[in-house]
Structure 1
Amino acid sequence: MQSPDGEGMNGERLQAVAREVAASLPEVTEGRPFVDKLDVYKVAGKVFLIVTDDPDEQIITVKADPSDARALRAQHRTVTAGRYLDKNHWISIGPGTGITRALATDLVRDSYDLAVQTLPRHDRPPTQG
């Protein structure tokens, strides 16, 4: 999967794309409920994205289907078991070869969708068209 980012994005760009995508999704809130260096994105109180605010550790952490998470870890050197959260259902993505804008966008959107699926129907945001 190629993108204008070529072989892969740097950490700053990866995080900017993740923040941009998250902010475009319905009913997303952002804050720092855990520590000062973690931006946490939620939908209806459910975490779906964590972005570090540390120049020495430019990663994003997203929710993922366990089988997809395993495949991504096998395919990309900079995709690892989720930092801070359940290692089966979360992955952390760092900059590197193959980490494109398209991949980052898909991962954030998929994470959001997984979080929304856990919500009672009446708490779910309207679907996007």
Structure 2
Amino acid sequence: MPNDTLQRWSRERVEELPGAHLAFPFGPEFAVYRILDKMFMAHTVLRGEPLVILKAKPADSEVLRRAYPQITPGYHMNKRHWITLNPGKTLERQLVEDLVTESYLLVVEGLPRAKRPVDPGTFGQAKEGPG
């Protein structure tokens, strides 16, 4: 897997999330993905390794770190509420996409209802057709 694969997969998933946008409030080396003014993902490079930093529920964060050596506490973030995805061979695309979506929804849940671009309780669920 090329070194930048996790960042590419996560960036492609963000492109599908309503209201998400990219900003560089900390300089060009730290890409911040936001919903309104709230960060839910960041990309940076540390010692030549591209990192993906995501928000996570503390209990999920702990389980993920135990299950995957490539998932570590959030780089430059609150270690209970953020995780870092590091390059390697163990993370699958679907897991990365799911973690990006979960991070996005955690932030959306904290927004005032009138400003939410999606309903976090139903976003991504297949709608049943008539009949």
Counterparts of 1:39-58 in structure 2, within 5 Å, are 39-53=31-45, 56-58=48-50
2:73 and 2:84 in contact (8 A); partners too? yes
Counterparts of 1:28-43 in structure 2, within 5 Å, are 28-43=20-35
Secondary structure of the structure 1 residue equivalent to 2:12: helix
Q: In 1, distance between residues paired with 2:46 and 2:11?
A: 15
TM-score when normalising by structure 2:
0.86
From 3, 13, 19, the equivalent of 1:21 is 13
Q: In 2, distance between residues paired with 1:88 and 1:61?
A: 13
From the superposition, tell whether residues 24 and 53 of structure 1 become closer, same or farther in structure 2 (CA, over 3 Å): farther
Secondary structure of the structure 2 residue equivalent to 1:85: coil
2:70 and 2:90 in contact (8 A); partners too? no
One-letter amino acid of the counterpart of residue 97, structure 1: K
One-letter amino acid of the counterpart of residue 98, structure 2: D
Q: Does 1:90 align with 2:82?
A: yes
RMSD between superposed Cα atoms in Å: 1.6
TM-score when normalising by structure 1:
0.87
Aligned positions, number:
121
One-letter amino acid of the counterpart of residue 36, structure 1: P
1:62 and 1:111 in contact (8 A); partners too? yes
1:15 and 1:59 in contact (8 A); partners too? yes
From the superposition, tell whether residues 101 and 80 of structure 1 become closer, same or farther in structure 2 (CA, over 3 Å): same
Q: Which moved more, 1:38-47 or 1:119-128?
A: 119-128
From the superposition, tell whether residues 12 and 49 of structure 1 become closer, same or farther in structure 2 (CA, over 3 Å): same
Q: In 2, distance between residues paired with 1:62 and 1:126?
A: 19
Counterparts of 1:1-129 in structure 2, within 5 Å, are 9-53=1-45, 56-127=48-119, 128=123
C-alpha displacement of 1:52:
1.3
Deviations 1:100-120 (A, max 9, x none): 101100000000000000101
Task: Identify unmatched segments of 5+ residues in structure 2.
Answer: 125-131
1:29 and 1:43 in contact (8 A); partners too? yes
Q: Give runs of ≥4 in structure 1 deviating > 4 Å.
A: none
